[in-house]
Structures are given as C-alpha cells and as structure tokens.
Amino acid sequence: MQPEDFDRDWEAASKELLIGMKAWRKEHKHATLSEIEAELDRRMRALRGDMLEDLAQASELADLRAVAEEARPVCPQCGARLGPRGQETRTLRTDGEHEITLERSYVVCPHCQTGFFPPR
Ligand SMILES: [Zn+2]
C-alpha cells in the first residue's frame, strides 16, 4: 500500500458516526448523560481504531520488498541492513481496547539473525 492510499473512507465513517449517534439518541430519549457518553465513546473508539489501523498500515516499510535496499532499516543490535523474510499479519489491541490488524514484512538480520516485526 502507498502511504496516501487508505482503505476506508474516513469522511463517510465520520458521517456514519454522527448520523448513527443522532439516531441512537432519538431511540433513547431517556438515556442518562453517562449512557450517552458510553455510547459515544464506544462509537468513537471504533472509528479511532479504524483510523489508527489505516495510518499505521500506510507505512513505506509495511512491505520491505518494495523498498530499495539502501533505504531499508538497520538492525538495532548490530547495525546490519535488514532484509524482508515474508509478510506477517499481527493483531494488536489499542489503548481504546479496539483490535487492529497490521500486515508487515517480517525482517531478519542477515548478520546476527535477530528477527522482528517493524513497529513503523
Ligand atoms: Zn543484527
């Protein structure tokens, strides 16, 4: 994926949140402030998680096969240039307790064999 390409249409997702929240409020005329707050937080956390997933996935390093060798990251242990060792999918839990899925090149150091999943 290129950094400018995002899977979801955030504008549509934001509108959906606003319209959905208004509809929810009409259906819950007697909701308390804390019930309204909980519903709003739940919906905003879901949108936040989707945005975070898209933003994190839009990394030039997500697929190292497409990155020139001299632009690839170096091993934090020994400084050798890292190479891709296949694509991996990881599911992570965000601060808002929302699951996000990232696909990244799994990288292995050719010198010291340290392997990891780049956080960028
Ligand atoms: Zn190394």
Q: Look at residue 118 in the predicted model and tell me its pLDDT.
A: 66
Q: What percent of the chain has pLDDT over 70?
A: 91
Contact 82, 104 (CB under 8 A): no
**Position 107 pLDDT exceeds 70:** yes
**Position 1 pLDDT exceeds 60:** no
Q: In whole angstroms, give the CA distance from residue 107 to residue 84.
A: 5
Of 37, 42, 10, 13, the closest CA to residue 25 belongs to: 37
CA of 75 to the centre of ligand 1 (A): 5
Ion ligand 1 neighbours (CB, 5 A) are 75, 77-78, 80, 109, 111-112, 114
**Position 117 pLDDT exceeds 80:** no
**Position 55 pLDDT exceeds 70:** yes
Q: Look at residue 94 in the predicted model and tell me its pLDDT.
A: 82
Contact 61, 105 (CB under 8 A): yes
Q: Note the residue count of the chain.
A: 120
